[in-house]
Every structure is written in C-alpha cells, then in structure tokens.
Amino acid sequence: MAKGVLVDLTKCVGCGGCTVACKLWNDMKFDDNNPTVGDKAKLSGKNWTVVHAHQVKNKDGETVWRFNKQQCLHCLEPACASACFAKALQKTKDGPVIYYPHLCVGCRYCMIACPFNIPKYEWDKTFPLVSKCQMCSTKIARGEAPACVSVCPQGVFKFGERDELLKEAKAIIAKDDKYIKEIYGEKEVGGTSWMYISDIPFKDLGFKTGLGTTPLPTYSHNFLRYTPFVAVGWGIILTGLYHYTKRRNTISKETNIKG
C-alpha cells in the first residue's frame, strides 16, 4: 500500500536536523549559495529538502515563528512523471516518485510540469541531471521511514499508510481548535503522499494554494487520447481529397481539351 508522511507544522522548531539527515543519507554536498534552513533557504540541485522560516501572525495576533519543510510531495498522480517523455520519473506502488538518471534526456519538461516547482537542475554540470527528493525509496522498500522523518527530535512527522495518516490528521484537526480545518496534500492536484496540518493558513507559510483538486495529468490525457483518431481520420480525409481533386482536375482538363 502507498506510504505517506504527515507533517505537523505546529511542532517544528526549525532546527534543520531533517535537512542534514537528507544530505548524509543521500551523500549530497552542502550548497554554498543556498542554505537549507532559514528565510533564504532554497531547494537546489544539491538541496532536496529545506526548512523555510516564516514570521507570521497567529490567530491571536501575536507574531510567531513557523517553519515549513519543503521537499517533493510525491503526488498520487505526479505531473512530473506524466510529463516525462522518457519515463525517467516514475511513481512506485510504495508511494515515492523516483528519478532514473540513465533514462533522462534533460529536457526539463518535468520542471515546467510540477505545480510545486520541486525538480531542480544541476546547471553547473557538463551533463546535468534533474534533482529532487526520492523519499528515500530504498529505505521505504525495507519498511523504514525516510531519513529526514526518522531523525526529527520534535516528532513533527508521522510515517505510515497514507489512508490511515489521513484519518488521523482529520481526527487531530477536528479535536484541537488551534489547527486550521484543512489538510494540505489531501486533495491538492489529486492528493499527495506528504500531507501537512498547521495552525497558520498555508498560504502565509509559502505553500502554493489554489491548485485545485484535478490531477494535472488529466489535462494532457484529455488532449492526447484523441491523437490516434485524429491521425487516422485526417489521413483518410486527406487521401480522399487527394484522389477526388486530382480526378476533378483531370476531368476538367479533358473537357477543356474536347471543348
């Protein structure tokens, strides 16, 4: 069954331990130009996850710090994977959306397609690759949680079956008044494997909102499914016209000559 992660943003203190765990487990260098924690934190070819710091007003009007851990959300119907024309991005049954570098052509259409702007590119390399969180797919295959999840000292994350996490999240926000009554990732572009709950509106924390619930691959699919019919139908029409107009021309020439 598909795994997921539930993130409780009210618990995060912004220590950035998860971003370090990600670097260590995935053997990634630190990115001198882009820090992984703070208000300048930025995803990059070397940063698969970052923790953004936001100073916001809470319900009572007090200024508070909130932190938003950003990484690939591992969509249930990933736009990136449906956009890849070489199958270099694929969704597994376990949940992760995995990148297969040897298949990649480097067209960067996945970057255009992802509504969350997650995939990044190794611009400084001669043969650059796309770069994004893999949800530690090899750990998940062994039944373990992703590296970032397992190191969090604050218990921000919960790893498990997506369906169960969703039920749990609903119960939490129903019971506790401080949460806004919304689970980010439940329905966004068809749902994601990572889900968030928060006491501050997601928009204020830099989340992309207003994405709707339609999985983005639907748009391409609705267009592409007509291709075979258009190709065959158009071919038949053209062939018909070709013979018809040719014959018409011949006939009119003959009548011209006779007349």
Partner 1 sequence: MAAQQGWSFRMTPIRKLLILLATICVGVSIFRLATGLGLVTNLNDEWPWGLWIGFDVLTGVALAGGGYFTAIIVHVLHRDQFHPIARGAMLTSLLGYLLVLAGLFLDVGQWFNFWRPFVSWGHTSVLFEVFWCISCYTTVQVLEFGEIFTERVGKKWHNAFKAAMPVLMIIGIIFPTLHQSSLGGLYLIAVHKLYPLWWSTLIPYFFLISSFFVGPAMICVESTLAGNAYNHKVPIEVLRGLGRIGGWFMLLYLVLKIYDLSNRGVWDLVFAGNLEGNLFLLEMILGVIVPIFIIFSGMSKSRSGLFIYGLLVSGGVVLNRMNVVFTGMSGTSGGSYFPSIWEWSVSIGLVSIGVLVYCFIVENFNILDHGDHHSA
Q: Is position 39 an interface residue for partner 1 (rule: CB under 8 A)?
A: no
CB nearer partner 1, residue 31 or residue 186: 31
Smallest gap, in angstroms, from Cβ of residue 212 to ligand SF4?
14
Please name the residue that has the structure tokens 């397609």: 113
Give the footprint of ligand SF4 on residues 28-87 (CB under 6 A). Answer: 72-75, 78-80, 83-84, 86
Q: Is position 40 an interface residue for partner 1 (rule: CB under 8 A)?
A: no
Q: Of the listed pieces 59-67, 117-125, 151-159, 175-183, which binds partner 1 according to CB under 8 A? A: 117-125
Give the footprint of partner 1 on residues 160-219 (CB under 8 A). Answer: 208, 210-212, 216-217, 219
CB nearer ligand SF4, residue 73 or residue 200: 73
Beta-bridge mates of residue 53: 67
Q: How far is CA 190 from CA 78, 79, 109, 198, 213, in A?
A: 9, 10, 20, 20, 5
Q: Is position 246 an interface residue for partner 1 (rule: CB under 8 A)?
A: yes
CB nearer partner 1, residue 105 or residue 174: 105
Q: Is position 12 an interface residue for ligand SF4 (rule: CB under 6 A)?
A: no
Rounded to an integer, what distance in angstroms lies between the CA atom of residue 57 and that of residue 65? 9
Among 17, 35, 38, 106, binds partner 1 (CB under 8 A): 106
Rounded to an integer, what distance in angstroms lies between the CA atom of residue 120 and that of residue 110? 9
Q: Is position 33 an interface residue for partner 1 (rule: CB under 8 A)?
A: no
Give the footprint of partner 1 on residues 41-60 (CB under 8 A). Answer: 43-45
Smallest gap, in angstroms, from Cβ of residue 94 to ligand SF4?
13
Asked if 13 and 66 count as a contact pair (C-beta separation under 8 A), the reply is no
- Residues in contact with partner 1 by CB under 8 A are 43-45, 79, 81-88, 102-109, 111-113, 115, 117, 120-121, 123-129, 208, 210-212, 216-217, 219-224, 227, 230-231, 234-235, 238-239, 241-242, 245-246, 248-249
